[in-house]
Amino acid sequence: MIKNSILVVVFLITTNSFAQFYKTYDWKETPEIHQLSKEEQKEPSVGILKKHVVEYAKSMFGDLLKVYETDHTITRVNNDKGIAKHNTVYIPMYEVINVLDIKARTINAEGKVTVLNKDNIKEVKNVDEYGDFKIFAIEGVEKNSEIEVLYTVEKEYDMHGQQNIQGEYPIREAQFLFITGDANAQIKAYRTESKFESVTINNTIGKLLTIKNIPAMVEEEYSTPDANKIAVAYQCFPKEQNITQEMFWSNVVNNVGPQFFPEEPITVVTDDLPNVTSGKTNLSVFEKANLLDDYIKTNFTIVKNNNAELSDVNYILKNKSASTFGILKAYAQYLKALDIKYEIVITANRYLKKFDPDFFNPNQLQEFLIYLPTEEKYIATDRLEYRVGEAPFNILGNYGLYITDSLEYYFSKIVQTDPNFSSINRVMDITFDEELQSATLKQSQEYTGHWSATSRAILNFYPEQSIKEYEDYLTGSGIEDKVVESYEALNTELLQLEYNKPFKTSSTITSESLLEEVGDSYLFQIGKVIGTQSELYQETKRVNPIEMQYPNQYDYTITIHIPKGYTAEGLEELNIDKSYKSVKGNKLCKFESSYKVEGNKVIITIQEFYKSNEYDLNRYEEFREVINAASDFNKTAILLKAIE
């Protein structure tokens, strides 16, 4: 009897020492409606509490780590929009072993509480290709009610993890609790000044991050809102393992690198080289690489699934079919056979995640490039619209992991080496019919860089209706009544052996809406000929840092032939000069327009450029003055006044 009592006591001590946080954590027994400020009442919804807990705990009968995640939210919904956003709850099942508890309730403005009927919880498979989810609708949701959800899941052990803290609605208080006990752990918060504090939870060591009054993350032009959210990334592994960041990166390099640097090319590849080069000799490195890029993108197919064969180099070369990972092996074989030096780059889409070289997170290893160091150019292996050149715009500006053929590695920001890579050059000649009922616009345009890649992609891959819509854009966007008299596009082929060869168009259009009769004179809407322009006239405070798609430049020359018997007035409105300068006085972006009169001609020149794709948020007003200057020009008009 005494032995049994001792065993019970020992068992209780053991189980208590392994008690997980979720077993003692609960919501308040009686919920209550929170008071909102006047500003909060204007929002569709407000997060009263957003708490996420990640706990690494030892198994009761061993040293293996288990992972428990608890999520607790209280959300106020003020109107139908808020209700629509929050009245269905999705719980991701990725890596989930067990759902330990799910509960939810609502409290309306009168204090009535409605509790979730757990029989209404459903499991759905592969929701929009995001994986499996537990899903349930919140019952009893009305305007000005609060939704409270609390659930805990046990997940497969993963030493890495991440969590977004910020959402698309304001949050009064967010907490991230990281409980790791005596395991080796590291955690990092992004885009917040708040710091983690050490805490003890149930005699277990943890770290707590508390952030108050988080603004809603909003969609803004020239921004990457998804990647800009406040977030945390973490690592946790058994205490006997002491893994550094360098060891994590080295492990990636040593596992991935050897697959992309063959000692010798496979025979089938060397035999295929005449097909790659089309029998041409004395080719430069750029020409060989460009021909190879075109050859693979023309003859190989990328299949987006996890079939192991699609990563096997022999299968790939035989069937000319590969995964996004496997296609790199095909490129590597041919680059080796062509004796072209290259490096492999692993990075992330900057619109989704900012790559951090200082903290290893496998979730940021999303995109692959091939870098040609002698040319300072990139091959975007899974982007059919690109040939050898600068990095794609969704990667430009992010950091990347560069792996060399000696399996050494380094980190570098992926920058544009050619400052003039992307440009639009437009020459326009404008005349009027004798009755001044319509204007005729003849224009020639040259597009380079990302502009030309986009144009060629649309003309080569898109359906006919999309091509027609793009041709409408190329012949004068924003001129609703235009009649296209002629249109021609040149250099439309994806393969251009000449570096950054421009995509060209020439067109003639007529329009009556550009002219408005004013007595015996006419108002000519000159600004509309440059097309619809972006504008930043928002009254709310800017949230996101400023990021352009890519550095680019516009050069326009517009010649207006003034009809006989008329003179042009209001020309001074065409003079606009707005710029954003560096601390050294160099113009980093600008919009500048001016005019000169030569006989019966008014010649307008416009130059607009953005030398960087990143600008200081603290100087947002200067930046938007440049953007809005182009929009202001779009609204200008001159008077064709009859000479008395």
Whether 354 contacts 400, CB under 8 Å? no
Q: Quote the tokens at residue 389.
A: 């050149």
- Which secondary structure element, helix H or strand E, spans residue 369, and what is its range? strand 367-372
Alpha helical stretches, state H, 75-209: 80-86
Strands in 204-214's sheet, in edge-to-edge order, are 113-115, 96-107, 145-155, 65-77, 45-58, 171-179, 204-214, 196-201
The whole-number pLDDT of residue 388 equals 96
Whether 99 contacts 76, CB under 8 Å? no
- 7/273: higher pLDDT: 273
- 59/309: higher pLDDT: 309
Whether 230 contacts 213, CB under 8 Å? no
Mean pLDDT confidence for 145-173: 96
CA distance 619 to 621: 6
**In the structure, what pLDDT confidence band is assigned to residue 127 with cuts at 50, 70 and 90?**
confident
Tens of pLDDT, residues 200-218: 998 899 999 999 999 999 9
Tens of pLDDT, residues 310-340: 999 999 999 999 999 999 999 999 999 999 9
Mean pLDDT confidence for 274-298: 95
Q: Quote the tokens at residue 384.
A: 């059919």
Q: How far is CA 566 from the centre of its chain?
A: 51
Nearest in space to 201 (alpha carbons), one of 329, 24, 396: 24
CA distance 507 to 482: 12
Nearest in space to 497 (alpha carbons), one of 644, 254, 293, 329: 293
Cα-based angle 11, 15, 19 (whole degrees, multiple of 5): 170
CA dihedral over 388, 390, 391, 392, signed as positive or negative: negative
Alpha helical stretches, state H, 171-244: 225-228
The whole-number pLDDT of residue 37 equals 96
Residues whose CB falls within 8 Å of the CB of residue 370, separated by 6 or more in sequence, listed in order: 328, 331, 335, 342, 343, 344, 345, 378, 379, 381
Tens of pLDDT, residues 521-559: 999 999 999 998 999 987 788 999 999 999 999 999 999
CA distance 124 to 117: 18
The whole-number pLDDT of residue 408 equals 97
DSSP state of 363: G
Tens of pLDDT, residues 602-641: 999 999 999 999 999 999 999 999 999 999 999 999 999 9
Give strand pairing partners of 74: 49, 148
Query: Tokens 């100087």 sit at which residue?
Result: 619
- 75/6: higher pLDDT: 75
Tens of pLDDT, residues 234-257: 999 988 888 999 999 999 999 999
Residues of the chain with pLDDT > 70, as a percent, come to 96
Domains of the chain (ranges; CATH) run 42-61+70-216 (2.60.40.3140), 249-413 (3.10.620.30), 423-642 (2.60.120.1130)
**In the structure, what pLDDT confidence band is assigned to residue 292 with cuts at 50, 70 and 90?**
very high
CA distance 573 to 590: 17
Q: Quote the tokens at residue 23.
A: 């077993």
The whole-number pLDDT of residue 17 equals 45
Residues of the chain with pLDDT > 90, as a percent, come to 88
- Which secondary structure element, helix H or strand E, spans residue 41, and what is its range? helix 38-41
CA distance 525 to 441: 13
CA distance 116 to 137: 9
Tens of pLDDT, residues 403-457: 999 999 999 999 999 989 999 999 999 999 999 999 999 999 999 999 999 999 9
Query: Tokens 């999309």 sit at which residue?
Result: 466
| Residue 468 zone, left/alpha/beta (φ > 0; ψ -120 to 50; rest) | alpha
Tens of pLDDT, residues 389-412: 999 999 999 999 999 999 999 999
> Does residue 11 surpass a pLDDT of 60?
no
Give strand pairing partners of 66: 57
CA distance 289 to 301: 19
**In the structure, what pLDDT confidence band is assigned to residue 61 with cuts at 50, 70 and 90?**
low
> Does residue 59 surpass a pLDDT of 50?
yes
- Which secondary structure element, helix H or strand E, spans residue 327, and what is its range? helix 326-337
Residues whose CB falls within 8 Å of the CB of residue 450, separated by 6 or more in sequence, listed in order: 390, 392, 393, 421, 422, 549, 550, 552
**In the structure, what pLDDT confidence band is assigned to residue 367 with cuts at 50, 70 and 90?**
very high
Cα-based angle 87, 90, 95 (whole degrees, multiple of 5): 165
Tens of pLDDT, residues 472-522: 999 988 898 999 999 999 999 999 989 999 999 999 999 999 999 999 999
Tens of pLDDT, residues 70-94: 999 999 999 999 999 999 999 999 9
The whole-number pLDDT of residue 541 equals 86
> Does residue 2 surpass a pLDDT of 50?
no
| Pairing verdict, β 566-569 and 483-490 | unpaired
Instruction: Report CA Rg, the chain.
Output: 31
Q: What is the mean pLDDT of the chain?
A: 93
**In the structure, what pLDDT confidence band is assigned to residue 125 with cuts at 50, 70 and 90?**
confident
